[in-house]
Structure 1
Amino acid sequence: MAGARPSVAVLDYGSGNIHSAVRALERAGAEVSLTADPDTVMNAAGLVVPGVGAFASVMQALQQVGATRWIGRRVAGGRPVLGICVGHQILFEAGVEHGERTEGMGEWPGVVEALPAPIVPHMGWNTVRPPEGSQLFRGIEDERFYFVHSYGVLNWDFDQTIQHIRPPQVTWAHHGADFIAAVENGPLSATQFHPEKSGDAGMQLLSNWLETL
């Protein structure tokens, strides 16, 4: 017998076109609420944090509705969160745009900076290099995903010597330089690309994430 559809809250904090993410999650099998209600955000089986535009404006908008606190509380309690695009970027230490540094949530080490590529934004389909054993990319390790961004995390400095902590799984892609395309870290996952715009591969990734809820 099929199980119940998992409840997913898509965080509505004034970010750009997020209805495609809602529709994709529904097609992948979730019961979706587009919401900024703290109880709904905290009680959903999964939380999706979308984001488009500038790092600083997304951080400001999240802080204005109290969402950074909700995200932190969910992660601390082992409750799944998935960040997408700038929703992926704000989970790192900081973002630097036009010489201005904005502090991020600091869940992971690394600074979001301009991609050193002759053509930006990095727009279109690209391959990724997931680690062995990735849950997000199970069955889609060799697929292409849709990116739209000019900034990314180019360096990963996680302290692998910390005892009793399983290091995050990092997926890389390349545009001008290697950059982090996705991270899987216990309840917290994020993708620089847009799974909701990545066709069948993106749908499979969302289904893989829903299986963890």
Structure 2
Amino acid sequence: MARRPREEIEVNQDLNLAPMMNLVIILIPMLLLSVVFMEVSVINVTMPLGGATTSDRTEPEEDKQPLNLAISMTAQGFYITAAGTKMQPMPGCPTGGPSICLEDDSIDPAARFEESRRLYASGDKIRGEEVLLEGLSAYNYRELYNRLSTIKNEFPEETTVTLTADAELPFALTTRVMDVVRFRLEEDSYDSNEDFWAAKPRTEGDTYSILFGDPAFGVL
């Protein structure tokens, strides 16, 4: 039986790019129209914290320097920086030292934290927790809240605070500071630790009143 000769199919090697080019031409104007152009401007002004006069307070809000509130946690206490200025040490603290020194200077937090890490590493978690709490108790959280509450009254719209800490300090200290700076309490200032730790957050309607509820972490 004779085989039928194979029919050769002619293949068109030239691709029709016209539809694709038409699509590109249509998409280009759409992409250009969807681009958002943002203009960023910086206003360089100086406004010392708490030093504004009555005339200064009437200036437009955009002329004010950002608060840039920051709390640096060290073994000596808390350093507070606001509006580019380090807050002066509270009464009783050494000149040039932290803004809020230790409440109990008989405790060396750095030594307590180091001993706590050693006890945890050796498996004695109960004693390690006790020593850790001893180190944490040396800090003056009440005065930290009092200072932040004063700042909040001057900058009611601000909610951000940057937290930094020395490398040897435990994260438990950062956690406790975050608890202090998060909500406004029933009073703006407290004279005793008992009243401070027993106080409840202030409410505004169905929500808690925010002190500085948007913490960010910085690097020393």
TM-score range, shorter chain: under 0.3
TM-score, scaled to structure 1: 0.23
Bigger share in strand = 1
Which of structures 1 and 2 has the bigger CA Rg? 2
Q: Select the structure with the greater relative contact order (CA < 8 A; seq sep ≥ 6).
A: 1
TM-score (norm 2): 0.23
